[in-house]
Copies of this chain bind each other. A is one copy, B any other.
Amino acid sequence: MTNDRHSSRRQKLIQAIRKGGIAGLLVSNSKNVSYLTGFTGEDSYLLIGPTNVQIFSDSRFETQLQMECPGVPAMIRNSKTTMIEFLAQELIKHKLPNLGIEATSMTVDVRDNLADKLGSVTLVAKTGLVEELRQIKDAGEIEELRLAVDQAERGFSIMKSMLMPTMTERQAAHDLEHGMRRFGALKAAFEPIIAVGDHGALPHYRAGLRRFEESTFVLCDWGAVSPQGYHSDLTRVWSTGKVPPKLLRIYGVVLNAQQAAIAAIRPGVKCQDVDRVARAVIEEAGYAKYFGHGLGHGIGLDIHEGPRLSPISSEVLKPGMVVTVEPGIYLPGIGGVRIEDDVVVTRDGYEVITSVSRELGG
């Protein structure tokens, strides 16, 4: 990713900072720092405002900062000064009347310490300024998401090829992560969910000690993190034998709901309306109360980002947003079906960037 790209992101943020009535923002969330500068290290803070841009770090990252974001002046603290002391002494020099902080990532302890040392500079709690920008992906980010999808799908293919009836869910989850890494993924996007039989109906299940031979139906929800830190997120269910008729039936319903919702995606459509399309299909089939979660969410540097596709979302789709579409029906004691794909909102519609088979036949 070029320096120009990060610089243009910072320009957009500065507009938001002006609108937000603050003199600058202290960016502490490391993914936000990375998004705005290209720097991939940790424990560093970015000051950004109409008249300033500076990154505060320590000597471990001095060389890396020069390589990754030569356009951003770096201030390196010495090892005898804590980061908070260093930040305070440098920030005071800017004589800002106030300073925004990222309230959803900064801890109370850091804020209190910083406020104490900054004296007359008022800290203003802000939420979502950078996250709002991150919702719209540029071409380079969409390429990274395609790569994360490809790594997830290749890993999934390896895992399925290696399955044996005596293996546990957890062994398969480990093979899945290892498989994704073979194709360059940094790691799994989250601890994979691999649920045999009725485990698929448990909303917080991950992967346990049940063996594949104990049922004929499996649910797998997984994703990969690409080298630049972008997350894919997919769900598939498949059968390893005769499938209970109830599960066969809800599989058809969920697939119809998902395909209808995907077809409704285009710029200008409300996120709650996309959710509504899928929910209506499931309701009509009589399973309304078995679909208890939202339809989907944005993906990017985080596995869960904006926009949310849910009944209470007030957001509107825009070109460059990338969202999951993942309706589900969960029947306690029997099993669950969820089908999840990743979808880019294009200028005039949508593109599904996931391609692994949706065939039930394993």
Partner among B108, B171, B187 whose Cβ is within 8 Å of the Cβ of A106: B108
Q: Which residues of B contact A79 (CB under 8 A)?
A: 292
Q: Tell which of A174-182, A214-222, A256-264, A339-347 binds the partner.
A: A174-182
Q: Which of B41, B108, B191 contacts A107 (CB 8 A)?
A: B108
B-contacting residues, A81-116, CB 8 Å: 101, 103-109, 111-112
8 contacts between A and B (CB under 8 A): A41-B204, A64-B204, A101-B108, A103-B109, A104-B108, A108-B108, A108-B111, A178-B178
Distance of A330 from chain B, by nearest CB (Å): 12
- Please tell me if A157 contacts chain B, counting CB pairs below 8 Å: no
A127 touches B105 (CB 8 A): no
Interface centre among A41, A64, A107, A204 (most CB of B within 10 A): A107
Number of copies: 2
Task: Tell me the nearest residue of chain B to A204, going by C-beta.
Answer: B60
Q: How far is the CA of A294 from the CA of B126 in the complex (A)?
A: 36
Interface size, chain A (Cβ < 8 Å): 29
Q: CA A181 – CA B64 in complex, angstroms?
A: 32
Contact in complex: B104, A127 (CB < 8 Å): no
Verify A61–B107 contact, CB threshold 8 A.
no
Inter-subunit contact A104/B107 (CB<8 Å) = yes
Partner of A108, one of B64, B103, B182: B103
Give chain A interface residues in 47-72, CB to chain B under 8 Å: 60-61, 64
Q: Are A125's CB and B109's CB within 8 A? A: yes
